Amino acid sequence: MNDLVDKKIERYETLLREMWAASETYLGAFSVKLLVERVVWDLSAEYREIELLHCHEGGISCAEIAASMKENPNLPVDDIFMKFITRYVEILAKLIGSEKTDKVAKKLKEEFGNIPFYSKEE
């Protein structure tokens, strides 16, 4: 069970790091860090566990979320990460435009498959 949890969190962490790297091209590390913090803040009212996601200008870490999952395997980790990713891409689209965000989303879809990225501004 713990191996499955570790692999799932590791996959999300890899995805978030790819998002970070792709976003950094357009925004720079400091702005990407602010964007991650904003999304964490947005989601923390619904999912307190998202506050366990740590970032610094060098990247992002899900280690504390993985540790929390081992203590509470019923955490809705898929929902948490999907909402995080969706919200992140929505804000990114507003910052850099949906055309550039579509390039980021396309690259992530190629690497991670069926993850619902939607970047059109509303």
pLDDT 10s digits, 79-103: 999 999 999 989 998 998 888 888 7
> Does the pLDDT of residue 78 top 60, yes or no?
yes
Reduce the DSSP state of residue 60 to 3 states and report it: strand
- Note if the pTM is more than 0.85: no
